[in-house]
Amino acid sequence: MTPSLRELFRHNLLSQLAAAGAVGMKPAALKLGLKAGGFDPVDQSLDDELQYLADKGLAAPMDKTISPELKRWRITAEGRDYAAQEGLS
pLDDT greater than 90 at residue 65: no
Shortest CA distance to 59 belongs to which of 43, 42, 46, 68? 46
What CATH number has the domain spanning 3-86? 1.10.10.10
- What integer is the mean pLDDT of 62-68? 87
What pTM did the predictor assign? 0.92
CA atoms of 63 and 82, how far apart (whole Å): 23
Q: Percentage of residues in the chain with pLDDT exceeding 70?
A: 100
Q: What is the pLDDT of residue 66?
A: 87
